[in-house]
Structures are given as C-alpha cells and as structure tokens.
Amino acid sequence: MSLTRRSFVAAAVGSLTAFSRLPDVAAASPRQSRDVEFAFRQYHNQTPTSSLHKRLVELWEAVYEESNHRLVCKVFAQNNNIQGSDPAALEALVNGDIQFFTLMGGILGTIMPVAEVQQVPYAFRSAAHAHQAMDGPLGAYLIEEMAAKGIHGFRVGAFDNGMREITSNTRIATPADLAGLKMRVPAGQLVADTFKAFGCEPVTINSDSIYAALKDGRADAQENPLTLADQFKLYEVVKYVAMTDHMWSGFNLLAHLPTWQRLPSDLQAIVDRNVAKHVKLQRQDQIAANTRLRAELATRGLAFNTPDPAPFKKQLAGVYATWKEKLGSKCWRLLEESTGFRG
C-alpha cells in the first residue's frame, strides 16, 4: 500500500539510510513534495556497508530521478532493527506495512515451500550458475508462486549472497567432523534438514546475533558466505573456515503485490529496468568480495581448507529424496533442467 507523506516521514526516523541522497518528503522543496505520488520503504537484512545496501540505494535514487520525483523509496539496512528480523519483515511485506524487501529462499520458504529450491545443497556449482537458473525458467516459476502469496517478484530480481561456507572452532574436513556440533542456521527447513543429516544440532539464530552466539556457546559453528564473516567480524570468535560451497543463497527482491499493481505502467517499467541493472551490478560486487575475502580473512587468523564434496553429497541422499517430493515434480524438474543437478 502507498504510505501517506506523514506516515512515511515518521517511519523514516531512526532509519539506517547511509549514502542515500533521497529526500525525506517533509524536508523536500515545495515542488518536490508536490511531485511525490508514491512513498515506499525497502527493508534488507545486511549492514549499511554491504554491497546490497549500496546497490539498493542507487536503484531507488535512479528510480526517483527517472520518475521525475514521483516515486521515492527509502532503504532501511538491517531491517530497520525490527523485532523478529527477517520473518517479521516478511510478515510486514505480506501485510503491506512495508512495500519492498529482500529475502533468501529458505526463509521465503516458510510461507512458500517451493522457494526452498534455492537452498538445495550442492545444486549450484557457483554463484554465477545460480544466477543463470534464477533468471531462467526456474526463477519464472518461483515468481508465479509468489503471486499466489500476494508477493510480486522480478524477472532479474535475485541479488547475490554467495556460496555458503562453514566457520567454526573445529576443522571440518568430512561429515563426521560435524557430528554433535550446534550449527547456527537461518530459518528454513531445508537448511536444518541438511545439517541434521550431517549429525549437527541446527540452531536458528538471526544474522545480527551470530557473533554473540558463537562467543557464548549457543552455537559451535555457522554457515554463510565469507562476506558475512567479514561484515560481522566472525574472525574474532572462530578459527577455521571449511570452503564447502554446500549451498547458494541470494536475496530475492520482493514487492507487496497490491502496491505493485497500483503503480502506473510507466513507473513499473522504470522500477523493472533499474532492478535488473542494479541486481547485475551487485552480483558482480558480491562475487568479487567473496573471492577476495579468502586471502584477507586468512591474514586475520582464519585457517582455510577445502573438503571433498563427495562424502557430504552421499550423506544427503535421504534429504534429496524427501525434498524432491516436498518441492513437487515440476519444481524439481526445472531445477534439474536449469542446473544439470541430479540429487
């Protein structure tokens, strides 16, 4: 839903909008205030220094200018510190309390199970391989399913998070090394099932609390792309990184469907064009960062190893069988056709 100017400004107070040149409506010139027809909010769970934040801010600044100031959307890093983090922000999006949100497939899967296909372990060989699948028929199918939940998805709308690695205070070389570890995982059943198959105890903890959980023992390990270990300074509380590349994760750009449908077609076209442009730029940023960080994090004391993936895949046979049924024949077929994966 479109916010009133007063409620938009009120919601913006205390937001993390670093680097944004977008005006608050109340502070804009009289002409700019009259020009604004739509005032929205964009949430995401990364830090203000992340590539995701930077590219989202650039996206909405471009939309503001190209729309002749008719549409303004403020970007809130770390979900504006909403209580409940991603699951709460997803509920806010579905209810129309916020209008745009980025979210990984596993958490989206809590209301739309087929979105878990993005988390199928070892289905994607690299981030670029995953992007190709998300921009193709598999991604198009997920967008159709989103609409049934009141969410609008974008054809080139999957920002990158990256291939997920395991960080811990124990060196991980085989699945047996994971047995008994309390593994921090995000919300999402497939990630939990994956680590249960490795003998872990999955513990769901929000991203902004991973550091504390590793420090105080609520978690023994966590799995994420290297950029998260860097942003949240996990190198201060762990010693080892196993480069497992066990799963890809991205940030799907989502919009509140009724809000999107109320936008004039010319504004939809401006948003679509800029989403595709800035998604591609952010993907390049993220791939470069995750590549660069292996060397940088090693200088901060982390020890790296690259386990053989074959024993891990073998231990997931039951997970693949279960999730092939849960995701359904069409979704699984599209996964196989898009990636060449055979689980």
Q: In the structure, what pLDDT confidence band is assigned to residue 16 with cuts at 50, 70 and 90? A: very low
pLDDT attached to residue 2 = 39
The percentage of the chain sitting over the pLDDT mark of 90, rounded to a whole number, equals: 87
pLDDT of 31 > 80? The answer is no
pLDDT of 13 > 50? The answer is no
Q: What number is the average pLDDT over the span 224-232?
A: 94
Poorest-pLDDT segment among 7-21, 62-76, 273-287, 307-321 = 7-21
Beta bridge partners of 40: 73
Poorest-pLDDT segment among 177-181, 203-207, 302-306 = 203-207
pLDDT of 28 > 70? The answer is no
More confident residue, 20 or 44: 44
pLDDT attached to residue 187 = 84
Tokens of 42: 């964009």
pLDDT attached to residue 207 = 84
Which H or E run includes 73? strand 71-76
Q: What is residue 307's DSSP assignment?
A: -
**Which domains are present in the chain?**
5-161+249-293 (3.40.190.170), 165-247+294-339 (3.40.190.170)
CB of 93 within 8 A of CB of 61?
Answer: no
Alpha-carbon distance of 125 to 247, in angstroms, equals 9
pLDDT attached to residue 26 = 44
Size (the chain), residues: 343
What's the one-letter identity of residue 94?
A: V
Q: In 3D, which of 125, 171, 119, 133 has the Cα closest to residue 303?
A: 171
Q: What number is the average pLDDT over the span 1-12?
A: 37
pLDDT attached to residue 24 = 64
Residue ranges in 83-173 assigned as alpha helix (H): 85-95, 105-108, 127-134, 137-147
CB of 24 within 8 A of CB of 59?
Answer: no
pLDDT of 122 > 60? The answer is yes
Coil, strand or helix at 223:
strand
- 66-107 pLDDT, tens digit per residue, is 999 999 999 999 999 999 889 999 999 999 999 999 999 999
CB of 240 within 8 A of CB of 303?
Answer: yes
Alpha-carbon distance of 110 to 105, in angstroms, equals 9
pLDDT attached to residue 3 = 41
pLDDT attached to residue 343 = 83
pLDDT attached to residue 328 = 97
Alpha-carbon distance of 318 to 342, in angstroms, equals 13
pLDDT of 27 > 80? The answer is no
90: Cβ–Cβ under 8 A, 6 or more apart, which residues? Answer: 101, 103, 107, 108, 110, 111
Beta bridge partners of 74: 41
Q: In 3D, which of 176, 164, 157 has the Cα closest to residue 121?
A: 164
337: Cβ–Cβ under 8 A, 6 or more apart, which residues? Answer: 137, 138
What's the one-letter identity of residue 88?
A: A
The chain-wide mean pLDDT, for the chain, equals: 91
Q: What number is the average pLDDT over the span 111-124?
A: 97
Q: What number is the average pLDDT over the span 5-32?
A: 45
- 182-220 pLDDT, tens digit per residue, is 999 988 899 999 999 999 999 999 888 999 999 999 999
pLDDT of 25 > 70? The answer is no
Q: What number is the average pLDDT over the span 257-283?
A: 98
Tokens of 228: 């998260």
What's the one-letter identity of residue 229?
A: A
pTM strictly above 0.85 = yes
Q: In 3D, which of 171, 166, 162, 212 has the Cα closest to residue 185?
A: 166
Q: In the structure, what pLDDT confidence band is assigned to residue 17 with cuts at 50, 70 and 90? A: very low
Q: What number is the average pLDDT over the span 38-48?
A: 96
Tokens of 283: 């993907």
Taking every pair of Cα atoms in the chain, the longest distance, rounded to a whole number of angstroms, is: 65
The percentage of the chain sitting over the pLDDT mark of 70, rounded to a whole number, equals: 90
Q: In the structure, what pLDDT confidence band is assigned to residue 1 with cuts at 50, 70 and 90? A: very low
Alpha-carbon distance of 202 to 207, in angstroms, equals 14
